[in-house]
Copies of this chain bind each other. A is one copy, B any other.
Amino acid sequence: MAFARLAILPTYKVVSDTIEREILAGRLNAGDILPTETELADQFGVTRHTVREGIRILEQSGLVRREAGRRLYVAEPHYGDLAPRLSRAMVMQRVTFRELWEVSMDLEPSAAAHAAGRIDASRLAQLRANVEATEEAIAAGTSIIPLDVAFHILVAEAAGNRALLLAREPVTQLFYPALERLFRHPKTSAVGPRRLVEAHRHIVEALADGDAAVAREWMRKHMVDFRRGYDTAGLDLDEALDPTAAPPAAPPPRR
Q: Which residues of A contact B (CB under 8 A)?
A: 4-9, 12, 23-26, 30, 49, 52-53, 56-57, 59-63, 76-79, 81-82, 85-86, 88-93, 95, 99-100, 102-103, 105-107, 110, 114, 161-164, 166-168, 170-171, 174, 243-244, 251-255
Residues of B within 8 A of A5 (CB): 251-252, 254
Residues of B within 8 A of A57 (CB): 56-57, 59-60
Copies in the complex: 2
Q: A6-B252, A56-B53, A252-B5 are known contacts. Are A102 and B26 too (CB-CB below 8 A)?
A: no
Residues of B within 8 A of A106 (CB): 106-107, 110, 164
Q: Is the CB of A82 within 8 A of B86?
A: yes
- What DSSP secondary structure best describes chain A's contact surface? helix
Q: A60-B61, A79-B89, A88-B24 are known contacts. Are A163 and B7 too (CB-CB below 8 A)?
A: no
Residue in contact with A30 in the complex, picked from B53, B81, B92, B252, CB distance below 8 Å: B92
Residues of B within 8 A of A8 (CB): 255
For this complex, 30 residue pairs linking A to B, each with C-beta atoms less than 8 Å apart, are A4-B252, A6-B255, A7-B252, A7-B253, A7-B255, A9-B255, A12-B56, A24-B92, A26-B243, A52-B53, A57-B57, A57-B59, A60-B60, A63-B88, A78-B89, A82-B85, A85-B85, A86-B86, A86-B166, A95-B163, A99-B162, A102-B114, A102-B163, A103-B164, A103-B167, A107-B107, A163-B170, A163-B174, A167-B167, A167-B171
Query: Across the two chains, which residue of chain B brings its CB closest to A53?
Result: B56
Residues of B within 8 A of A163 (CB): 90, 95, 99-100, 102-103, 170-171, 174
- Alpha-carbon separation in the docked complex, A1 to B254 (Å): 20
- Alpha-carbon separation in the docked complex, A103 to B162 (Å): 10
Q: Is the CB of A76 within 8 A of B92?
A: yes
Residues of B within 8 A of A92 (CB): 23-24, 30, 76-77
Residues of B within 8 A of A9 (CB): 253, 255
CB-based closest 3 A-B pairs: A7-B252, A60-B60, A56-B56
- Alpha-carbon separation in the docked complex, A86 to B171 (Å): 14
Residues of B within 8 A of A59 (CB): 57
Residue in contact with A167 in the complex, picked from B88, B91, B168, B253, CB distance below 8 Å: B168
Residues of B within 8 A of A90 (CB): 162-163, 166
- Alpha-carbon separation in the docked complex, A167 to B107 (Å): 10
- Alpha-carbon separation in the docked complex, A23 to B244 (Å): 11
